[in-house]
Structure 1
């Protein structure tokens, strides 16, 4: 049974910067999450049409920006002009989409850690994994703790693994599909990141027995969080930066 390697990341991770309290995946959200004491953040990264990694969850622009269409089909110059804050609140009007480099500079300057979910546009799974990993390695080359790269897309993690094998990887799961643990082993993952309801004592033991850490998304109530702590899981991604103390 592989021993669990030291884990450099804190238990509590702020989802998309500050959950729902600020426009997700923006610097405004990161700043708000940090003001609540969080020192690790999760974000989503995809590629513009000209290959710039930027932060956004959805494939389509409409929900969280003033744009229309598929984000990955537009060049960065066009994406950089969009308003990614007005949809959330008037106070955040004019907030731009950040590049991965913008977020890296903020995190590095403030000693924050990052979980980058590789969130490719359809058809760009492997390429997105390759580019995000390459950029992450460049941006964090002098950092003591690298970002954790995660994805639901095996092809994206394969791209990251082939390009920058030294960066830590985690497999995201919304269900325990056949062969998930073997796939994580083949990908050299250091973590499994599950929908929190999937964790049981048996599954935690499987993951820890494989030498990997057990993380959960997206945990927004105290009973669910306590269950995961009692199970011995290693990380909790939450929207409720106002509810959970990251020191807890």
Structure 2
């Protein structure tokens, strides 16, 4: 396998339980616990701005309503993305992808970018996020692009073929191996319940790295590390400290 430049431990959505997920506050919190690699979700506004948000709608983690894909960035930028979590984070804004890139590069942090398109926006989002990542990390070690949506990863591959890609899996659906080969991935990221020593060995035999989400139990983490896992995404940044 090729050398793997990313740390073993990645903080999920920044430190998305301790602070509002997918905000700069969450990244700062994760960095405060010693994390130097993060996972986040990136999607597009109607006018093409790449920004951080997990859901297909705004209600759960912001003061907005409806689909972000139907709204321009000028309106999304005015939303409160912190008060839902706790009062100290009131008025925390949705961050642009460019802001997170600046934070990571200023602090020597690595990033796993989940391309998280709103329904029907897979191709546009995959291509745009890849182009923006290539621009923001020009001359630096790029982030790992991942997605549950093969169409989004294919668009990212076509737009910026040199960027590393990973297929995300919440189940081992028929044809996933062939899809990973066609997408020319460098890694496969699964729900941790799907991953065991045999699958890690199979992935490594193909030259792919094996990563998992979302591990919050120390015993599970130790088992996976003993099996040779390459990356662990966790919410428990205050309990599972990177070594």
1:200 aligns with 2:200: no
CA-CA distance at 1:203 after TM superposition: 1.1
CA-CA distance at 1:19 after TM superposition: 2.8
1:102 aligns with 99
2:123 aligns with 126
1:173 to 160, 169, 175: 169
CA distance in 2, matches of 1:103, 1:13: 15
1:15-30 → structure 2 map (5 Å cutoff): 15-30=12-27
1:34-45 → structure 2 map (5 Å cutoff): 34-45=31-42
CA distance in 2, matches of 1:181, 1:212: 11
1:139 aligns with 136
CA-CA distance at 1:109 after TM superposition: 1.1
1:185 aligns with 181
CA distance in 2, matches of 1:206, 1:234: 13
CA-CA distance at 1:182 after TM superposition: 1.4
CA distance in 2, matches of 1:56, 1:19: 11
Q: Contact 2:197 / 2:224 at 8 angstroms: preserved in 1?
A: no
CA-CA distance at 1:7 after TM superposition: 0.1
Q: Contact 1:19 / 1:238 at 8 angstroms: preserved in 2?
A: no
CA distance in 2, matches of 1:72, 1:228: 37
1:14 aligns with 2:49: no
TM-score (norm 1): 0.97
CA-CA distance at 1:93 after TM superposition: 0.3
For structure 2, the 5+ residue unaligned runs are: none
Structure 1 stretch displaced more, 25-34 or 218-227: 218-227
For structure 1, the 5+ residue unaligned runs are: none
* SS of 1:42 mapped into structure 2: strand
* SS of 2:123 mapped into structure 1: helix
* SS of 2:20 mapped into structure 1: coil
Q: Contact 1:116 / 1:149 at 8 angstroms: preserved in 2?
A: yes
Size of the aligned set, in residue pairs, is: 243
CA distance in 2, matches of 1:19, 1:221: 16
* SS of 2:39 mapped into structure 1: strand
CA-CA distance at 1:97 after TM superposition: 0.1
CA distance in 2, matches of 1:206, 1:125: 29
2:70 to 52, 69, 73: 73
Structure 1 stretch displaced more, 39-48 or 176-185: 176-185
1:160 aligns with 156
TM-score (norm 2): 0.99
Which runs of at least 4 in structure 1 moved beyond 2 Å after TM superposition?
A: none
